[in-house]
Protein backbone atom coordinates (compact mmCIF):
# COMPACT_ATOMS: atom_id res chain seq x y z
CA UNK A 1 0.00 0.00 0.00
CA UNK A 2 1.31 3.44 -0.98
CA UNK A 3 2.48 5.86 1.70
CA UNK A 4 1.06 9.28 0.81
CA UNK A 5 2.83 12.59 1.56
CA UNK A 6 -0.17 13.65 3.66
CA UNK A 7 -1.07 10.96 6.17
CA UNK A 8 -3.60 11.31 8.98
CA UNK A 9 -5.21 8.91 11.42
CA UNK A 10 -8.87 7.97 11.07
CA UNK A 11 -9.66 10.28 13.99
CA UNK A 12 -7.81 13.20 12.35
CA UNK A 13 -9.69 12.70 9.06
CA UNK A 14 -13.00 12.57 10.95
CA UNK A 15 -12.22 15.95 12.55
CA UNK A 16 -11.72 17.71 9.22
CA UNK A 17 -14.28 15.91 7.03
CA UNK A 18 -18.05 15.70 7.36
CA UNK A 19 -19.45 12.16 7.89
CA UNK A 20 -20.48 12.01 4.20
CA UNK A 21 -17.08 13.26 2.99
CA UNK A 22 -15.33 10.71 5.23
CA UNK A 23 -17.55 7.89 3.90
CA UNK A 24 -16.74 8.82 0.31
CA UNK A 25 -13.09 9.85 0.52
CA UNK A 26 -11.75 7.51 3.20
CA UNK A 27 -14.12 4.53 2.88
CA UNK A 28 -14.38 4.66 -0.94
CA UNK A 29 -18.09 5.40 -1.03
CA UNK A 30 -20.10 7.22 -3.66
CA UNK A 31 -22.82 9.81 -3.66
CA UNK A 32 -26.19 9.30 -5.31
CA UNK A 33 -26.18 10.17 -9.03
CA UNK A 34 -27.31 13.71 -9.89
CA UNK A 35 -27.10 14.75 -6.20
CA UNK A 36 -23.67 16.40 -6.06
CA UNK A 37 -23.30 20.17 -6.06
CA UNK A 38 -20.69 20.14 -8.86
CA UNK A 39 -22.55 17.85 -11.28
CA UNK A 40 -23.89 20.79 -13.33
CA UNK A 41 -21.31 23.37 -12.25
CA UNK A 42 -19.35 24.94 -15.13
CA UNK A 43 -17.63 28.07 -13.78
CA UNK A 44 -14.04 28.91 -14.77
CA UNK A 45 -11.44 27.72 -12.27
CA UNK A 46 -9.92 24.59 -10.80
CA UNK A 47 -11.27 21.70 -8.74
CA UNK A 48 -9.11 20.66 -5.79
CA UNK A 49 -9.10 17.69 -3.43
CA UNK A 50 -11.48 18.41 -0.55
CA UNK A 51 -9.06 16.75 1.91
CA UNK A 52 -5.72 18.37 1.05
CA UNK A 53 -6.49 21.10 -1.54
CA UNK A 54 -4.22 19.65 -4.25
CA UNK A 55 -5.33 20.81 -7.71
CA UNK A 56 -6.90 17.90 -9.60
CA UNK A 57 -9.03 19.08 -12.54
CA UNK A 58 -9.11 22.20 -14.70
CA UNK A 59 -12.64 23.49 -15.37
CA UNK A 60 -11.82 23.53 -19.10
CA UNK A 61 -11.77 19.70 -19.04
CA UNK A 62 -15.21 19.37 -17.41
CA UNK A 63 -18.12 18.29 -19.56
CA UNK A 64 -21.78 17.34 -19.24
CA UNK A 65 -21.73 13.55 -19.46
CA UNK A 66 -25.25 12.73 -18.19
CA UNK A 67 -23.72 10.05 -15.93
CA UNK A 68 -24.85 11.84 -12.75
CA UNK A 69 -21.45 12.88 -11.41
CA UNK A 70 -19.02 15.66 -12.32
CA UNK A 71 -17.04 14.44 -15.33
CA UNK A 72 -13.68 15.53 -16.70
CA UNK A 73 -11.85 14.34 -19.78
CA UNK A 74 -8.47 14.63 -18.05
CA UNK A 75 -6.81 15.44 -14.76
CA UNK A 76 -3.89 17.70 -13.90
CA UNK A 77 -0.61 15.84 -14.49
CA UNK A 78 0.54 13.68 -11.56
CA UNK A 79 -2.41 14.69 -9.39
CA UNK A 80 -4.03 11.24 -9.29
CA UNK A 81 -3.09 7.65 -8.54
CA UNK A 82 -4.88 4.78 -10.22
CA UNK A 83 -5.84 1.45 -8.64
CA UNK A 84 -7.75 -1.54 -9.95
CA UNK A 85 -11.19 -1.81 -8.29
CA UNK A 86 -12.96 -5.16 -8.45
CA UNK A 87 -15.85 -4.30 -6.12
CA UNK A 88 -19.55 -4.58 -6.99
CA UNK A 89 -18.91 -7.28 -9.60
CA UNK A 90 -17.17 -4.83 -11.95
CA UNK A 91 -13.65 -4.15 -13.16
CA UNK A 92 -12.99 -0.43 -12.79
CA UNK A 93 -10.10 1.95 -12.26
CA UNK A 94 -10.32 3.92 -9.03
CA UNK A 95 -8.83 7.42 -8.92
CA UNK A 96 -7.22 8.74 -5.74
CA UNK A 97 -5.56 12.05 -4.87
CA UNK A 98 -1.81 11.45 -5.23
CA UNK A 99 -1.06 13.69 -2.24
CA UNK A 100 -3.41 12.27 0.43
CA UNK A 101 -4.93 9.11 -1.07
CA UNK A 102 -8.52 10.36 -0.89
CA UNK A 103 -10.96 8.47 -3.12
CA UNK A 104 -12.21 10.69 -5.94
CA UNK A 105 -14.21 8.27 -8.04
CA UNK A 106 -13.37 6.22 -11.14
CA UNK A 107 -12.01 6.73 -14.64
CA UNK A 108 -13.70 5.03 -17.57
CA UNK A 109 -13.02 4.65 -21.27
CA UNK A 110 -15.21 7.14 -23.16
CA UNK A 111 -14.97 7.56 -26.93
CA UNK A 112 -16.91 10.84 -26.77
CA UNK A 113 -13.91 12.76 -25.34
CA UNK A 114 -10.61 13.79 -26.97
CA UNK A 115 -8.69 11.88 -24.30
CA UNK A 116 -11.00 8.84 -24.68
CA UNK A 117 -11.42 8.97 -20.88
CA UNK A 118 -14.13 10.11 -18.46
CA UNK A 119 -13.07 10.92 -14.92
CA UNK A 120 -16.27 10.40 -12.93
CA UNK A 121 -15.85 12.21 -9.61
CA UNK A 122 -17.85 12.59 -6.40
CA UNK A 123 -18.72 16.24 -5.66
CA UNK A 124 -18.03 15.51 -1.97
CA UNK A 125 -14.38 14.73 -2.88
CA UNK A 126 -13.67 18.08 -4.49
CA UNK A 127 -13.88 21.80 -3.90
CA UNK A 128 -14.03 24.52 -6.56
CA UNK A 129 -11.60 27.43 -6.65
CA UNK A 130 -12.75 30.13 -9.09
CA UNK A 131 -10.31 31.71 -11.52
CA UNK A 132 -9.29 35.16 -10.35
CA UNK A 133 -10.36 37.73 -12.90
CA UNK A 134 -8.09 40.73 -13.34
CA UNK A 135 -9.69 44.07 -14.14
Quick: pLDDT tens for 52-72: 999 999 999 999 998 999 999
- Range name among 86-90, 98-102, 118-122 with the lowest pLDDT average: 86-90
Q: pLDDT > 70: what percent of the chain? A: 98
Compute the CA torsion angle 60, 111, 97, 82 (nearest 10 deg).
Answer: -160
Residues classed as catalytic: 120
- Domain boundaries of the chain, sorted by first residue: 32-130
Query: Has domain 32-130 been given CATH number 2.170.150.20?
Result: yes
Q: Average pLDDT for residues 78-105, to the nearest whole number?
A: 96
Among the listed residues 66, 72, 17, the one whose alpha carbon sits nearest the alpha carbon of residue 46: 72
Amino acid sequence: MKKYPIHKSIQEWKKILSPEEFRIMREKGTERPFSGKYNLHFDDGVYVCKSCKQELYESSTKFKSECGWPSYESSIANSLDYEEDLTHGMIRTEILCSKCGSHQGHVFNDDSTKSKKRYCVNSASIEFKPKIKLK
